[in-house]
């Protein structure tokens, strides 16, 4: 008898920042994609050797390598590398590079990524995205002293070498499957968007979706980041996104709902913060 009553689904609505003076609008068509600016200046790389006695190598290099990221120089800020697994303490290493064109490893920069990192067993940078000015967004995956696999989003200041945790985070996809933890979009001079995901909902064995996708704007007016939208699963998980003429477009899926095979399209006016 009790099997006739299904548990009511948890409500997971979206929230739009009041600073936008706007609401999410349901649309029928996702705009044709133009070239997307993904925080130019931050690129994936591979390193042969252990810095400082190391070199960047091409994707077809067949030897043992460390996954890494290169960050281009900016006025007053030297080029930077973030290198995974290149030390006895398996944490990401931050290295100042000689230049963009001569990327030799010049100086190791001590960085505390989290107050609790002393208890971490291992950690790696899954993603590095460029934000305005001296800021970088890092998606970190780490194991704590209890052996738990955890993820977080951290903003790193290249000028002060200080790191600030923004949020815990989660992957998308099957449980334990490594995927991106964040994405960035350039949306004008000194403006960028950061997307990351939090909280998991189990649909069935080994299948999880995200409860929330968060999009923040970083700019001179909002150097700490303003969350413009917290997208709840009721409005879908983001599978594609773009900004055109100060309007954010989202293509989303709610995988709990088989009646929407094409997903949902949303727009949000960002003109008040861009």
State the SS3 of the chain.
CHHHCCCCCCCCCCEECHHHCCCCEEECCCCCCCCCCCCCCEEEEEEEEECCEEEEECCCCCCCCEEEEEECCECCECCEEEECCCCCCCCCEEEEECCCCCCCEEEEECCCCCCCHHHCCEEEEEEEEECCCCEEEEEEEEECCCCCEEEEEEEEECCCCEEEEEEECCCCCECCCCCCCEEEEECCCCCEEEEEEEEEEEEECCEEEEEEEEEEEECCCCCCCEEEEEEEHHHCEEEEEEEECCEEEEEEECCCCCCCCCCEEEEEECCCCC
* Domain-embedded: residue 24: no
Tens digit of pLDDT for each residue in 117-152?
989 999 999 999 999 999 999 999 999 988 899 999
* Domain-embedded: residue 121: yes
Give percent above pLDDT 90 in the chain: 76
The average pLDDT across 261-273 equals 92
Our count of domains for the chain comes to 1
pLDDT surpasses 60 at 193: yes
At 175, the pLDDT band (50, 70, 90 cuts) reads: very low
The average pLDDT across 105-127 equals 94
* Domain-embedded: residue 151: yes
* Domain-embedded: residue 140: yes
* Domain-embedded: residue 106: yes
The pTM of this model reads 0.91
**Domain membership of residue 97 as a residue range:** 38-186
* Domain-embedded: residue 239: no
* Domain-embedded: residue 206: no
* Domain-embedded: residue 225: no
pLDDT at 32: 82
């Amino acid at each position: 008898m009790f099997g006739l009553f299904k548990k009511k689904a948890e409500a997971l609505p979206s929230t739009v920042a009041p600073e936008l003076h706007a609401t999410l609008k349901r649309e029928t068509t996702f705009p044709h994609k133009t070239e997307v600016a993904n925080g130019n200046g931050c690129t994936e790389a591979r390193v042969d050797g252990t810095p400082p006695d190391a070199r960047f190598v091409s994707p077809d290099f067949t030897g043992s390598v460390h996954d890494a990221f290169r960050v281009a120089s900016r006025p007053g800020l030297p080029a930077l590398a973030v290198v995974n697994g290149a030390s006895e303490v398996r944490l990401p290493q931050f290295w100042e590079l000689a230049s963009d064109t001569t990327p030799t490893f010049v100086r190791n920069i001590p960085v505390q990524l989290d107050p609790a990192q002393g208890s971490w067993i291992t950690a790696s940078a899954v993603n590095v995205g460029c934000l305005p000015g001296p800021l970088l967004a890092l998606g970190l995956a780490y194991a704590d002293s209890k052996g738990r696999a955890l993820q977080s989003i951290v903003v790193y200041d290249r000028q002060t070498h200080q790191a600030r945790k923004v949020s815990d985070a989660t992957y998308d996809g099957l449980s334990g499957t490594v995927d991106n933890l964040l994405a960035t979009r350039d949306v004008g001079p000194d403006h960028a968007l950061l997307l990351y995901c939090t909280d998991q909902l189990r649909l069935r064995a080994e299948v999880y979706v995200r409860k929330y996708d968060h999009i923040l704007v970083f700019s001179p007016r909002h150097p700490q980041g303003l969350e413009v939208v917290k997208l709840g699963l009721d409005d879908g998980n983001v599978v594609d996104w773009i900004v055109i003429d100060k309007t954010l477009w989202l293509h989303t899926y709610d995988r709990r709902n088989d009646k929407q095979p094409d997903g949902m399209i949303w727009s949000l006016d960002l003109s008040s913060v861009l």
